[in-house]
Amino acid sequence: MLRKRIIPCLLLKDRGLVKTVKFKDPKYVGDPINAIRIFNEKEVDELILLDIEASMLKQEPNYQLIAEVAGECFMPICYGGGIRTLAHADKLFGLGVEKISINAAALADISIITDIAKKYGSQSVVGSIDCRKGFFGGYSVYAASGASNTKRSPVEWAQTLESAGIGEILLTSIDQDGTQRGFDAGLIDSVVKGVHVPVIACGGAGAVSDLTDLFDQTGVSAAAAGSLFVFHGKHRAVLISYPKVSTLGRR
């Protein structure tokens, strides 16, 4: 059995780290370099870094900041945000980023996935899917940081991304984001069973037990979390942390 991965998912806005709740009200939680130095001291599997403004503002990735981050980061890093062309991907891989996460660009033109996968391999491309549950049940894929309903089924879109060449899926529940109320196991399991590539689940982790429940209830390959690793206590004081492997019973 493959070892399950536990991945901090950090959100960038300007040059600072923030945390959202249901993709809204970003709260500043610190400097990315300082956070990464702390994670370097922990048994962190890898790191996901997502710029939540770049695509909305039609900006390219902040290459200077990413270079600083990559220079400090001892674990593999996946970056997403503002990537719209193969040339953008070229620059990021040249800076030392191991994986790139594509969301808005794939919804606009799926060929970007195929182009990057052909040049760098499927293992280097993560397809990011943001989902929200409808009033009458069922889930839809959302774009523009949760503002635009694409009317696409998460499972069908995941299958489309897989066919285009992605090697992994980052599946985020907008409804659970930042709530610390646990993962949406039903949504996650439906996508896991619909594709043949690894799925990273994100959105809702509030305790280590949420991670173990996720692994028990679904076939995900990894769990990503933000609030769990940056907040402490009921008042959500900022404190960068990471659970010990022994507390998760992982092999």
Sign of CA dihedral 150, 156, 159, 163: negative
End-to-end CA distance of the chain: 8
- 130 as an active site residue: the answer is yes
Region 48-55: mean pLDDT is 95
CA distances from 21 to 165, 173, 234 (A): 31, 11, 15
pLDDT of 1: 44
Expressed as residue numbers, the domain containing 200 is 5-246
What domain count does the chain have? 1
Tell me the per-residue pLDDT of 72-101, one tens digit each, with 9 for 90 and over. Answer: 999 999 999 999 999 999 999 999 999 999
Rounded CA-CA distance 94/66 in Å is 11
Residue 217 maps to which CATH number? 3.20.20.70
Name beta bridge partners: 9: 48
Region 108-127: mean pLDDT is 98
Catalytic residue among 130, 175, 177, 210: 130
**Is residue 234 a part of any domain in this protein?**
yes
**Is residue 139 a part of any domain in this protein?**
yes
The one-letter code for the residue type at 75 is: M
Global confidence as pTM: 0.94
**Is residue 251 a part of any domain in this protein?**
no
